[in-house]
Amino acid sequence: MVSDIHLDINKVNVNDTLQQQSDWLNRNGIGIYLIAGDLFNHFDQSVSFTENLQKMTPNTTVKFIAGNHDMVNDISYRELQKPVAETYLHRQYFDVSNTDWRIIGNNGWYDYSFSAAMHRPEADFLHWKRAYWIDGAIKQPLSDPERMAVELQVIEQQLLQAQREHRRVLFMTHFVPRIEYLRITSDDRFWNMANAMLGSVHTGELLAKYQVKYVLFGHMHIHPAPRMYAGTVYFNQSVGYGTARRHEWVTNDFQSEWLKRVHVINLDEKEE
């Protein structure tokens, strides 16, 4: 599992990275490789990368969801909701063979609920987003809270179906599902406005309601150890930026940083 690899912003050689990652996946016998969004600033490039990686790793199932960066170019809101590529898991799932595990994907979105303590109208958050946030370039037919409400309905149906079929769930989303990861104060500081665009408290509520076992997310370029909230273990495996302007890495090159952030778990065992 990994997220936020930002291959274009980090100016990596894509062919070299494909070779390095495929070699590692093949050498370590990885059965499933999940990328929780923000591969490129172009959706087509994200699809191309995952499809090429899939060809190079025939024994590994490669799946990704779109982060906000992937949504900026080459994809419309309507197209984004469709199964436009075999490697794209948004609103889809797949069952891990010979286990009772189901991996569910949903890009997610946000509804300003992380900044509810500010008591600001939706128009203020939208104005701030258009002025300062890359998402201002993403066209959509709904408001942000409306868009999130749609996804919450989809997520609940996905989780309800898994529950009825007695499947344990690993849920992959891009946006932040728990408010505990955020820094929140009651004033108008920059990060309090930015928090509004990070995710939704309602995602975490659904994950707790349906007793999801594991959650992979990204969006925040942080490096926490896995944490458990309400019986669910959360993983943020973001690589983040290694640029001169925003150097978030603890190593000096992309491959080394990717190796530090990629996290392996075992889904082989059936629950008694």
Q: 61 with 94: CB under 8 angstroms?
A: yes
In this structure, the strands spanning 92-95 and 101-105 are: antiparallel
Strand order in the sheet with 168-172: 92-95, 101-105, 168-172, 214-217, 232-236, 227-229
Q: 191 with 214: CB under 8 angstroms?
A: no
Q: Is residue 3 in some structural domain?
A: no
Question: What's the pLDDT at 270?
Answer: 61
> Which residue, chain included where needed, has tokens 């016998």?
29
Average confidence score pLDDT of the chain: 95
Write the single-letter amino acid at 100.
Answer: D
Q: Is residue 77 in some structural domain?
A: yes
Q: 235 with 215: CB under 8 angstroms?
A: yes
User: pLDDT tens per residue, the chain (272 residues)?
Assistant: 999 999 999 999 999 999 999 999 999 999 999 999 999 999 999 999 999 999 999 999 999 999 999 999 999 999 999 999 999 999 999 999 999 999 999 999 999 999 988 888 899 999 999 999 999 999 999 999 999 999 999 999 999 999 999 999 999 999 999 999 998 877 777 788 889 999 999 999 999 999 999 999 999 999 999 999 999 999 999 999 999 899 999 999 999 999 999 999 999 766 54
> Under 8 Å CB-to-CB from 112, ≥6 apart: which residues?
120, 122, 125, 144, 145, 196, 197
Question: What's the pLDDT at 269?
Answer: 65
Q: Is 202 helix (H, G, I), strand (E, B) or coil?
A: helix
Q: Is residue 8 in some structural domain?
A: no
Q: Which of 12, 125, 36 is nearest to 89 (CA)?
A: 36
- Structure tokens that stand for 247 in this block: 């150097």
What is the Cα–Cα distance from 59 to 264, expressed in whole angstroms?
Answer: 16
Per the structure, the count of domains in the chain is 1
Q: What is the span of the domain harbouring residue 253?
A: 14-261
Question: What's the pLDDT at 183?
Answer: 87
Q: Is residue 175 in some structural domain?
A: yes
Question: What's the pLDDT at 271?
Answer: 52
Q: Is residue 148 in some structural domain?
A: yes
Q: Is 210 helix (H, G, I), strand (E, B) or coil?
A: coil
Question: What's the pLDDT at 272?
Answer: 45
Residue 224 is given by DSSP the state P
What is the Cα–Cα distance from 218 to 173, expressed in whole angstroms?
Answer: 7
pLDDT tens sequence across 127-171: 999 999 999 999 999 999 999 999 999 999 999 999 999 999 999
Q: 2 - beta bridge partners?
A: 35
Q: Is residue 1 in some structural domain?
A: no
Q: Is residue 9 in some structural domain?
A: no
Cα pseudo-dihedral 220, 233, 158, 57, rounded to 10 = 70
- Structure tokens that stand for 58 in this block: 């025939």
CATH code for the domain of 84: 3.60.21.10
